[in-house]
Structure 1
Amino acid sequence: MACRLAFASPPSPTAFRVGCVIIDADGRLLSQGYSRQHDPHDHAEEAALAAITPNDARLRSATLISSLEPCVARASRPRGCALLIADTPIPRIVYAWREPTLFTAGGGAEFLERQGRTVVEVSRLAAEARTPNDGLLRAPRPDHVSQPLPVADG
């Protein structure tokens, strides 16, 4: 469901299309979100967390499922999704695709594990999570910082 939800994300040349769901201990949907759902800078996990009351007792046994590994750092907001998740009592995080180092260094899974959370990568779904991002992944990227051209003497 999280991988399919990513297709609702508007494409962006500078951010992944990601879907996220939060389910209770019985597998019932508590909330969902996708990238850029309400704001051009929304991340999927951020949108899903915003859609549920932070003190909801069901979060203590919930699972957050994301199509992409939650980020630690981001350019558009001061706190990454892994930090937002760490502020909740959600004990289990499942994701399909480990974050490529296209925009940030990644590391959300390791950060959450250090916070005592159970983190599960379901790599057999990684291709499904990558699909809505195919255009972004194929876009040419400069492999070096361009140097200024020398100024001719006048």
Structure 2
Amino acid sequence: MSLPTTQRSTRTDRLLLTAAIDLSRLSPPAPTHYAVGALLADHTGTVLATGYTGETDPHLHAEEAALAKLTPTDRPVTLYTSLEPCTVRKSRPTPCTDLILTAGITRVVLALREPLLFADCHGVETLLHNGIEVIEIPDLGHRVHDINAHLFRP
């Protein structure tokens, strides 16, 4: 049974999530992973870092790429990610949900839960169980699906 997410999105949430989705278009298309974009913002909505799947390494996840760019003085509060953060990885030992929890992020805003194509992901549930506020904006999910359409074709 999946836990319900909160639905208190703001105008800023929609704008920054849209920017994360647009950023995912930079991800090199591949048959082995989703194209995902991520932004990290502080409490004022200022973007501190961005990342996308495969940005510097084919195995790099968007959230991981953005988190790696933070400076020691950055205080991210919200992660905007086009796709649900992973709980299972084949290419690295630490899933993105663990990286998010370690970074002290308190909110995650996403457009689409991970389809059952590569892994059985429980990112939303993991984050909620750890006290992270999760906001889904599902009416933007079709854009994420469209960007990853190459994975869903027979």
Same fold (TM over 0.5): yes
In the TM superposition, what are the counterparts of 1:87-126 in structure 2 within 5 Å? 87-126=102-141
SS of equivalent residue, structure 2 residue 135: strand
Q: Distance in 1 between matches of 2:73 and 2:83?
A: 24
Larger radius of gyration: 1
Q: Distance in 2 between matches of 1:34 and 1:48?
A: 8
| Greater relative contact order (Cα < 8 A, sep 6+) | 2
Residue 32 (structure 1) aligns with: 50
Residue 99 (structure 2) aligns with: 84
SS of equivalent residue, structure 1 residue 8: coil
Q: Name which of 20, 33, 41 aligns with 1:2.
A: 20
Structure 1: which 5+ runs fail to align? 141-154
Report sequence identity in percent. Answer: 45
Residue 143 (structure 1) aligns with: none
For residue 57 of structure 1, report the CA deviation from its aligned partner: 5.1
Residue 5 (structure 2) aligns with: none
Q: Distance in 1 between matches of 2:93 and 2:75?
A: 27
Judging changes above 3 Å, is the alpha-carbon distance between structure 1 residues 57 and 18 closer, same or farther for their aligned structure 2 residues? Answer: closer
Q: Distance in 1 between matches of 2:73 and 2:117?
A: 35
Q: Distance in 2 between matches of 1:82 and 1:2?
A: 17
SS of equivalent residue, structure 2 residue 139: helix
- The code of the aligned residue for 2:124 comes to A
**1:47-80, CA deviations, whole angstroms, 9 ceiling, x for partnerless residues?**
0000102x43522xx1100000000001101111
For residue 128 of structure 1, report the CA deviation from its aligned partner: 1.1
Structure 2: which 5+ runs fail to align? 1-18
SS of equivalent residue, structure 2 residue 63: helix
Q: Distance in 1 between matches of 2:148 and 2:69?
A: 24
* Contact 2:35–2:147 (Cα < 8 Å) also in 1: yes
SS of equivalent residue, structure 1 residue 58: coil
Q: Distance in 1 between matches of 2:132 and 2:20?
A: 20
SS of equivalent residue, structure 1 residue 83: helix
TM superposition score normalised by structure 2:
0.85
CA RMSD across the alignment = 1.0
